[in-house]
Amino acid sequence: MGDIGEALDRSEVDVVVIGAGFAGLYALYMLREAGLSVRAFERGEGVGGTWYWNRYPGARVDIQSVEYMFTKFPDLEQEWDWTELMPAQAEIERYLNWVADKLGLRDGITFDTAVQRATYDDAAATWRVETDAGEQVVARFVVAATGCLSAPIEPAIPGLGSFAGDSLYTNRFPHEGYDFTGKRVAVIGTGSSGVQSVPVIAAQAAELFVLQRSAAYTLPSPNRPLGPNELDELKSQYADIRSAQWASPVGTARFGAVSFLGRRSLTNILEASWDEQIGKVDELGFAGCFAWADVFFDVAANDAAKRLYAEAIKRVVNDPGTAEDLVPHYPFGCKRVIIDEGYFETFNRDNVQLVNLRRNPIESVVPSGIQLADRLLELDVIVYATGFDAMTGSLSRIDIRGRDGVTLRDVWAESPTAYLGLGVAGFPNLFTVTGPGSPSVLTNMVTSIEHHVEWITACIGHLQANGHRSIEPDRAAQDEWAEHVNTFAGPLQVHPSCNSWYLGANVPGKTRHYMPYAGGLTRYMARCAEVVESGYTGFELA
């Protein structure tokens, strides 16, 4: 294997990294540090991945800023100043650009270039990677840092392309931004992206129609600017924060959407009187609906929490019909809980209307707007906040051919699994950062990404040190792991009314299978360490 300093021929490298978001940047850095020659390809014109593409109004992370950053650079982290408790897209994108410069990563990245094809050569134990710019690179390893939520899905609505106004997608929003002032706007979709963008768009638009097929469970964001000395104080505690973060089953020790789920009250909602239940909402607001011990495990308890949630919505939304339409019909915990800034309050504005698509479906998009079953919405702009083909979509869209020409797309169409979420049988020397079967999207993504990249870097080091040419998951181990992952998907996550992207249920035709590992990051990391200590159990090394 080559040395980065000696790798003059850039068409042959040790590792190709696909993507330059948090995962791609860290992989490029770590693999270079390990003395490997690396090339990264990024389809965007800049670094950032998720935070490059999803620049819709209101885009913000739901993890506290001081934990939504790389944790292994004690000097660097002291230099970076976050301005808010939960940073918005622009600040995270700035942070990643700053990191890329500080670590000198840009020269390793080919921007504006998508990997189109990767083909494994069994005899040579190498991958031939081809880009949409016509470049071919041969690499021993491919590290797919392609993100869990980076393959947008276009909704199958008749006439989608016929609209004469502006069609915008939250997950590839215009870089120059968009001024909604005075416009008649429809937002389709009320997942995290829709819910975050609605209050911001409503404040600008002349009229806003929120087109909802499934109502959202959303909690008010605790975001605020960081106080004058607060960040200094936090910085002085970074070492402790990092330790707590790495000891946490969700990779974040402080509050945020995911850590809220980890804090359970000891009382069961099913044993509480209505007055006690309402008292919890008086005390904690929307969060009080779910601060019960049984809500996450029991469907009846979850239903009770949903009734309480309906009450909490009624307290905010003035119009009773709208309040009722905003109550979800699936269990809390089926989808990712959203953190919003004034979502329900937005429906009290005179310029905002909720359209319940379950009662009044979209018939088609027409040149002048959206034809609903009962009326035509005349519009200047349609914003699609319609989501992603999650966890497997970004790699399934690349023509990846492993042993015997088998495509990853076909393998995952049948069973979207990966051993430990790190690799797939039949695809030697291909590593999937935060792939299906890993905790990833159920945790702080940055922590999960760091863990995977470090595991992969150490694995490649082990292969080199021991003269191995390839590593590949054993099919039986992969199936066993998939079974194990399945045991953690609870009744709420796989409930028949749950159509989450975790299950692939939001993509027509995708196999319904709970993809992430819900057993917690700490337990998962211990398992990954055991696998290494026992000589890479479940992998075949050749």
**339 versus 515: smaller Cβ distance to ligand N01:** 339
Give the Å distances, CA to CA, from 281 to 219, 221, 262, 297, 301.
12, 16, 19, 20, 16
Q: Give me the least distance between CB of 400 and ligand N01, in Å please.
A: 23
- Residue 428 binding ligand N01, by CB under 6 A: no
Helix (H, G, I), strand (E, B) or coil at 204: helix
Among 64, 71, 146, 190, binds ligand N01 (CB under 6 A): 190
Q: What is the DSSP letter of 452?
A: H
Q: Give me the least distance between CB of 250 and ligand N01, in Å please.
A: 13
| 342 contact partners, CB below 8 Å, separation of at least 6 | 199, 220
Among 106, 213, 235, 475, binds ligand N01 (CB under 6 A): 213
Of 121-150, which residues contact ligand N01 (CB under 6 A)? 149
Of 239-268, which residues contact ligand N01 (CB under 6 A)? none
Q: Give me the least distance between CB of 197 and ligand N01, in Å please.
A: 9
In sequence order, what E strands does 385-506 have? 399-401, 430-432, 471-473
Among 64, 65, 196, 478, binds ligand N01 (CB under 6 A): 196
**At residue 338, what are phi and psi to the nearest 5 degrees?**
-95, 150
**387 versus 423: smaller Cβ distance to ligand N01:** 387
Q: Give me the least distance between CB of 214 and ligand N01, in Å please.
A: 3
Site pattern 434..453 for ligand N01 (x: CB under 6 A)? -------x------------
**At residue 89, what are phi and psi to the nearest 5 degrees?**
-50, -50
Of 53-72, which residues contact ligand N01 (CB under 6 A)? 60-62
- Residue 354 binding ligand N01, by CB under 6 A: no
Among 506, 528, 531, 539, binds ligand N01 (CB under 6 A): 506
| 113 contact partners, CB below 8 Å, separation of at least 6 | 41, 42, 43, 131, 132, 133, 135
Query: Would you state the structure tokens that stand for residue 129, as one six-digit string?
Result: 């990677």
**40 versus 362: smaller Cβ distance to ligand N01:** 362
- Residue 339 binding ligand N01, by CB under 6 A: yes
- Residue 499 binding ligand N01, by CB under 6 A: yes
The CA distance from 428 to 175, in Å, is 38
Q: Give me the least distance between CB of 193 and ligand N01, in Å please.
A: 3
Give the Å distances, CA to CA, from 531 to 2, 420, 479, 536, 537.
28, 10, 16, 5, 5
Identify the H or E element spanning 17.
strand 12-18
Q: Which residues are paired to 377 by β-bridges?
A: 370
**124 versus 373: smaller Cβ distance to ligand N01:** 373
The CA distance from 455 to 524, in Å, is 12
Helix (H, G, I), strand (E, B) or coil at 522: helix
**216 versus 430: smaller Cβ distance to ligand N01:** 216
- Residue 278 binding ligand N01, by CB under 6 A: no
Residue nearest to ligand N01 (CB): 191
Roughly how many angstroms between the first and final C-alpha of the chain, as a whole number? 16
- Number of chain positions touching ligand N01 (CB under 6 A): 27
Helix (H, G, I), strand (E, B) or coil at 478: helix
**189 versus 435: smaller Cβ distance to ligand N01:** 189
Q: Give me the least distance between CB of 501 and ligand N01, in Å please.
A: 5
Give the Å distances, CA to CA, from 73 to 20, 30, 339, 357, 535.
18, 12, 28, 48, 29
Query: Would you state the structure tokens that stand for residue 208, as one six-digit string?
Result: 């806003």
Q: Give me the least distance between CB of 164 and ligand N01, in Å please.
A: 20
In sequence order, what E strands does 79-135 have? 109-110, 115-121, 126-131
**110 versus 438: smaller Cβ distance to ligand N01:** 438
**115 versus 149: smaller Cβ distance to ligand N01:** 149
**157 versus 406: smaller Cβ distance to ligand N01:** 157
- Residue 192 binding ligand N01, by CB under 6 A: yes
- Residue 532 binding ligand N01, by CB under 6 A: no
Angle in degrees, CA 289, 291, 296, rounded to 5:
95
**185 versus 459: smaller Cβ distance to ligand N01:** 185
Among 157, 231, 261, 270, binds ligand N01 (CB under 6 A): 157
**50 versus 417: smaller Cβ distance to ligand N01:** 50
Among 214, 245, 248, 277, binds ligand N01 (CB under 6 A): 214
Query: Would you state the structure tokens that stand for residue 245, as one six-digit string?
Result: 């973060």
Which amino acid, one-letter code, is at 466? Answer: N
- Residue 189 binding ligand N01, by CB under 6 A: yes
The CA distance from 412 to 417, in Å, is 7
Of 368-407, which residues contact ligand N01 (CB under 6 A)? 385-388
Q: Give me the least distance between CB of 403 and ligand N01, in Å please.
A: 33
Please give the residue ranges that form the binding site for ligand N01 (CB under 6 A).
Answer: 60-62, 149, 155, 157, 188-194, 196, 213-214, 336, 339, 357, 385-388, 441, 499, 501, 506
